[in-house]
Amino acid sequence: MTLPAALSLRPGFGFGGVLRDTLPEPLRDAAPPTQPAGDDEAWMLETLRTAMAHNGLSDPNPVVGCVIVRDGQVVSRGATERIGERHAERVAVEAMPDRSVFRGATAYVTLEPCSHHGRQPPCADLLASLGLARCVVALRDPFPLVDGAGLARLQAAGVAVSVGTLAAEAAAWHAPFLLRQRLGRPLVAAKWAQTLDGQLAYDDGAQRWLTGKAARAHTHWLRQKYDAILIGAGTVLADDPALTVRDAAGDRHRHPLRLVYDPNGRALAALPQRLERWKAGLLSADAPTVFLLGTQAARRATALEALLPPSATMIALPDGPPVEALFDTLAGPAMVARLGRPVGSVMVEGGPRLLGLLLEAGRVDLAHVFIAPAIGGGERNRIAFPGSAAATRDWRPVATAALGPDLLAEYASPAVAAHLARLVDAGASVSPLRHG
């Protein structure tokens, strides 16, 4: 059988970007270094790092980075701001009142500059007006209103355009934006930690970490990339998680929406006993929390709703197959009212049952797997739904890296791996570009 095309990242990179930059300073040596080949790769690496400083800030827009270099020195840099505010290229340009400094310079951008009027004017036109010598773009933007038009405008202005530098790494960084367009539903990433023999928790039920500090800090970094974190009732009752980004590196731009999949109302039934504890964690004011309840559980829980703090609410799942009901709710009006828009991406941090349910349904697109150097030796707490093995058999490895004592292994479903690989290949084929 022929496997689909794959996306393979260089050492030191993952879906979260440059691995060392995802960790707080004291932990950075726990991740492998990057090894750029040549000046363009070195400057594009710096451009990706610039984008990472705004992790989670500009969603649902892509978090783009722009670095402008002249005579081997950075003239200016920028990253995309909040939605409706400036794009990365405009931030970089407006940081320098004297635009003559850009003449003859090279602009590095992680994603093709936009060519259409949205909330902001076209960035391609802005760059084309500067007298740049070159523009190096990591990845062509497949968005229909761009899709090569930005590159064509730069070329028409006499700017030499190069596409494809660190393209795979940029595609991984921009995956939530790129895949949301493709899937037509929320992007689903699964995250779990396991022992070498596949246990997600020890059978004795004791609350202790499987992985080390670097793996946990990287998880908090990843949370900012997604609109929401989804867990099940079992995880709530076993771990009392907070699901914040408190250990993430750099500025913390957002705590994601917290979703508790609780169709039978088991977790919410514990609210009277755990309310004070949860106020400092799962129900803290850091982010909204939504309990997703089955119809019967929602009726029974009406009396408990008054106990919830203002940051928390309950939503009744529609009747029907569980996974379909869940996805209908993520895009439904109640969720839009809570988040301000449909949920575009979710990271699932649930236990074996919830992960197995979504894997069996073929609804997991990416996986961030942390493997601890330990043997659990138990029989429970494994992803063991009947269809989960078949659903992941053809998954493609994207990146592997040591994070301290643990191993991070990241995967993409066959369809997602093939789509991202096509985007990378499309960028590599653009030179010279003519956009009709």
pLDDT in tens, 225-277: 999 999 999 999 989 999 999 988 888 888 999 999 999 999 999 999 999 99
* pLDDT tens-digit readout, 92-127: 999 999 999 999 999 999 999 988 776 778 899 999
Tell which CATH architecture fits domain 175-416.
Answer: 3-Layer(aba) Sandwich (3.40)
Return the CATH fold of 37-165.
Cytidine Deaminase; domain 2 (3.40.140)
For residue 384, the model assigns a pLDDT of 57
* Tens of pLDDT, residues 377-407: 777 777 755 555 666 778 999 999 999 999 9
Task: Specify the 3-state DSSP secondary structure of 411.
Answer: strand
Q: What is the reported pLDDT for 432?
A: 38
Mean confidence (pLDDT) of the chain: 90
- For residue 427, the model assigns a pLDDT of 66
Which residue ranges make up each domain of the chain?
37-165, 175-416
pTM for the whole structure? 0.93
Dihedral of alpha carbons 286, 217, 238, 266, sign: positive
Contact in structure between 107 and 136 (CB atoms under 8 Å): yes
- Positions annotated as catalytic residues are 89
Rounded mean pLDDT of 342-364? 91
CA angle 417, 422, 424 (to 5 degrees): 95
Structure tokens at 377: 């030796």
The predicted pLDDT at position 434 comes to: 35
Q: Is the pLDDT of residue 436 over 50?
A: no
High-pLDDT (> 70) share of the chain, %: 94
**Is it true that 37-165 and 175-416 share their CATH fold?**
no
Region 126-154: what's the mean pLDDT? 91
The helix (H) or strand (E) run that includes residue 429 is none
CB 314 within 8 A of CB 293: yes
